[in-house]
Amino acid sequence: MDERLKQIAENFDNMKIGLDDKFRFSCKQCGKCCTEREDILLTPFDLFRLSKKLNMTPNDFVEKYGETYIGDYSRMVIVRLKPRGSIRRCPLLKDRKCSVHDAKPRVCAMFPIGRGFRLDPKKPGADQITSDNIEYIFNGAHCGNAEEHTVREWFEYFNIPIKDEFFVEWQKTLSELSEIIQIAEKKFTMEKTMDALWSAIYVLMYMRYDIKQEFMPQFEKNRDELLTMMRTIPAFYSGRAKNVG
């Protein structure tokens, strides 16, 4: 896990903030949020909006500005903006400004607020993820403090829904896929088989979108197709175990 994300996970309780709690924030232009960053991770919706903004396919966008890897902990395919140069600058920072301001990734638009779920590892993750369980953190203690806001006002200002249907559905999907992939990795010894599974996740979740069509119906269709295929993996193993045993 990226060092910064690890620190956030470890300090989650101290950083926690309620939807109607006040926080003080103003930008003193230190550049930290667009430089020295390895963790601008893109959701499929971020990638779709950025591709649409720059009138390119998601595949061309990732080739030009992004990179992919398998998460150490989640074992999922992760897509991120590829930092450049010695100061690890975001590739979309031009003349010290965000060149995609109205389509910037949600994680950038929400800053200094972050959001996530706290899950009980003993229960299936996807069952615990609902719009009522979203938790928020404030991560801008090093920024200026000239203005006062609430989280709710901040989200409204940036046009981010509080009950964000895509965010919830995506987190559920990630959680289920991560559980399946971790089972598969313990069972499949052939590298080629895992590569085929990761490739299916990458193509169906991130790539197979027409930027001229609406996002959500395409996401739901791709997700349903992928999960239908991936859900056969744990069942396949429990079935085979019975036959062998």
Contacts with ligand SF4 by CB under 6 A lie at: 27-34, 40, 90, 92-93, 98, 100, 104-105, 108, 140, 143-144
The nearer residue to ligand SF4, 95 or 120, going by C-beta atoms, is 95
The nearer residue to ligand SF4, 82 or 208, going by C-beta atoms, is 82
The nearer residue to ligand SF4, 54 or 98, going by C-beta atoms, is 98
Strand-pair partners of 68: 79
The nearer residue to ligand SF4, 98 or 203, going by C-beta atoms, is 98
Work out how close the CB of 73 gets to ligand SF4 at its nearest, in angstroms, rounded to a whole number: 23
State both tokens at 6.
């690890």
The kind and range of the H/E element at 79 are strand 77-81
The nearer residue to ligand SF4, 56 or 200, going by C-beta atoms, is 56
CA nearest neighbour of 78 among 35, 47, 112, 110: 47
The kind and range of the H/E element at 214 are none
CA nearest neighbour of 117 among 138, 133, 137: 133
Work out how close the CB of 101 gets to ligand SF4 at its nearest, in angstroms, rounded to a whole number: 7
Work out how close the CB of 86 gets to ligand SF4 at its nearest, in angstroms, rounded to a whole number: 17
DSSP 8-state assignment for residue 203: I
Work out how close the CB of 145 gets to ligand SF4 at its nearest, in angstroms, rounded to a whole number: 10
Give every CB contact of residue 215 below 8 A, 6+ residues apart in sequence.
44, 45, 48, 49, 166, 209
Work out how close the CB of 141 gets to ligand SF4 at its nearest, in angstroms, rounded to a whole number: 10
